Amino acid sequence: MATNPTFNLGGDFTINRLGFGAMRVTGEGIWGWPPDRQKALKVLKRAVELGVNLMDTADAYGPDTSELLIAEALYPYPKGLVIATKGGLTRPGPGQWVPNCRPDHLKQALDGSLKRLRLDRIDLYQLHTVDSKVPIEESVGALKQMQDAGKIRHIGLSNVDRKEIDRARKIVSIVSVQNRYNIEDRDSEDVLEYCEKEKLGFLPWFPIGGRQRIKSGKSAEDRGKAHGVSVFQVALAWLLERSPVILPIPGTSSLAHLEENVAAAKLKLTPEEWKAIDALKG
């Protein structure tokens, strides 16, 4: 089981393994501005104060508003803060997500992210999905061109399977993968194992189940009560101990939930507790 509190991303970034996903600081349906903009800015600032140094976002969150809020809250960025963003999904309307991973779109998307985030280079730029209309080689080939131009430091993938990772790695170096994964949803178990073997960062999205939240099961609830913490903190602690390459990125628009999530990094489960929770596969 994992005990290391940090992960070396791409050979040059030391990441505190519990990051922050900035999707939820936007409006309802991941659309538009949040109802309380000042609160959203406070959440982003507080995350960094609590030691978070991996901030994950995407041009599709809002769209654009998540990146704009990050810049408004945190620019000029503190030393050591890694901002990861993504391109390749478009947003025709609230709750709608349409892939567009054509090279020309990705280049425009990256330039837009650079402008909104007030950066000259993105530390980690991730292909948000695989577009069935565009071979992944063409999509990551465009990212490689932009990396060669100095606009991207490291490249990651999201919502991919092992074969797609292999295909992408033949074109360009990949440092991370972001797939859906939590106690109850382990469809990406084989991808996680691949990342462990290849020492790639694995960023589980919906680490505590998203809006539905994990149903948890009695074992997780009992462990939470025993430690005086929430079942969601137990879920995050389980992820941190599941593998040293896992970098959970729980997101929230609440200061209280943020504090709770970050505190999960200090929660240590015994091997027996961890095994009991591990048996909760959905």
User: Annotated active-site positions, please?
Assistant: 61
Which is nearest to 184 in space by CA: 155, 161, 208, 148?
Answer: 208
What distances in angstroms separate CA 172 from CA 64, 66, 70, one per listed residue?
27, 27, 28
Query: Could you tell me which residues come within 8 angstroms of residue 146 by beta carbon, excluding any fewer than 6 positions away?
Result: 106, 107, 110, 125, 152
What distances in angstroms separate CA 117 from CA 58, 77, 125, 267, one per listed residue?
11, 10, 12, 33
Written as six digits, the tokens of 18 are 């519990």
Q: How far is CA 91 from the centre of its chain?
A: 19
Cβ–Cβ contacts within 10 Å for residue 242, how many? 23
Distance CA 47, CA 260 (A): 11
